[in-house]
Amino acid sequence: MGARKRRSVTRRTRSPSINQQSRPQVSDTRVGELITRCESLLHRLGCSRASIVVEITSDGKLIAGALGLNFNGVATGRVIIDDQLLKALPYDELEFVLAHEVSHIFRNHLADSLTAAMVRALIEGEARKDDRVKLLLLGWDVWKVIRASQGHLPPTAATTRANELEADALAVWLTRDKETAKRFLLRIVGDNPDAPSHVWEVFGTTMPLPALSMRDRLAALDLLPY
């Protein structure tokens, strides 16, 4: 979802089984409540069935994220939330986070990300065997940087940007609370709206090149008619 932003889908049971090391001091009852809230949000988006796993993480690498698919109105997946974020957020901000993440599942944003990642992985595999492909990959990354300097995002970064803005819009539609959404987004960047929300990868590593700034997300929220 945000500045520290996205494992295969597993089936949820009504008694959630969460790895104890990644779920400090979060009860099964609490996790079950989060699952119920996520599934309720998906039903409101139009899913006829929803089966969600909620994972509480403490590795510090991710604020919140989602992995999952929606096939013909049947949504299944995993919503991941940082344990410190879970403890810190009031109910209304947490509702926005959950709504944002299940919106990624509802709109099948994982498929977009996986497609781009698979293409990149295939090219990088060939580059390890063929120096000509390696040079081609390097040239592609240089071209992305040049295009970014001209105000044009590379395709993968543009997809990330579009997906995040769409998830924000759907989350606000679900919660009908634009001000809470804005308050949360500022919270996770220390009230600095110019901080990057998401960055993109170039030269095989994540660079401080924003696909989306928090100011972009706040401006997009202001344009929503609801």
Closest by alpha carbon to 163, among 117, 104, 217? Answer: 104
The residue-averaged pLDDT of 94-114 equals 92
Alpha-helical regions (H) of 46-154: 83-88, 91-106, 109-127, 131-149
How many other C-beta atoms can be found within 10 angstroms of the C-beta atom of residue 209? 17
Q: Please state the φ and ψ torsions of residue 198, each to the nearest 5 degrees.
A: -140, 145
Q: Is 197 exposed, middle or buried (0-12, 13-18, 19+ CB in 10 A)?
A: buried
CA atoms within 13 Å, Cβ hemisphere of 101: 33
- Residue 25's pLDDT is what? 72
Confidence class for position 14, pLDDT limits 50, 70, 90: very low
The model's pLDDT over 120-133, given as tens digits with 9 standing for 90+, comes to 667 667 777 888 87
Specify the pLDDT at position 40.
98
Structure tokens at 124: 């990088």
Query: Could you tell me the CA-to-CA distances from 14 to 31, 51, 57, 218 in Å, in that order?
Result: 10, 10, 20, 36
Domains observed in the chain: 20-109 (3.30.2010.10), 110-222 (no CATH)
Whether the pLDDT of residue 108 is over 70: the answer is yes
Q: Assess whether pLDDT exceeds 60 at residue 220.
A: yes
Q: What is the pLDDT of residue 116?
A: 63
Say what the pTM is.
0.76
Q: Residue 5: pLDDT band by 50, 70, 90 thresholds?
A: very low
How far apart are alpha carbons 150 and 168 in whole angstroms? 26
Q: What is the mean pLDDT of the chain?
A: 82
> Rounded to an integer, what distance in angstroms lies between the CA atom of residue 4 and that of residue 62?
5
At a CB cut-off of 8 Å and minimum separation 6, what does 160 contact? 113, 198, 200, 211, 212
Comparing 36 with 2, the larger pLDDT belongs to 36
Q: Quick one: pLDDT at residue 158?
A: 83
The identity of residue 5, as a single letter, is: K
CA-based end-to-end distance of the chain: 21
- Say what percent of the chain tops pLDDT 70: 77
| pLDDT, position 1 | 67
